[in-house]
Amino acid sequence: MPRPRKLRFVQGRPIVDAFFPNGVPPWGRQEVVLPIEGLEAIRLNDFQGLDQETAARMMNVSRQTFGRILGEARAIIADALVMGKTLRIEGGNFDMPPRGRGRHRRGRIY
């Protein structure tokens, strides 16, 4: 039996939760789902320009796990862009890091 997945830290929920293609491709409307921790990896590495080691520490995962999350997220986004699919951002296995003495806000969604 595999061990349970460790929660990944994300700084917040996405501003928007979906992107839709401008038109409908000839093969019909399809959808792909990007987990919230995948969006966080894209945000930290590609948008903020952090190196993978620093970004991995912020997400509370190893550098190798961060690289895997980032690669999977990029593949999902590329599939949506190239194939004209709807990109929905939801789900995953994440937690928001504590701030001060506040409590964790969990977002475990399967």
pLDDT tens profile 74-102 = 999 999 999 999 999 998 888 887 765 44
- Which residues of the chain fall short of a pLDDT of 50? 101-104, 108-110
pLDDT at 109: 45
pLDDT at 110: 37
**Class of domain 17-91 as given by CATH:** mainly alpha
Model pTM? 0.81
Strand order in the sheet with 31-34: 18-19, 86-89, 31-34
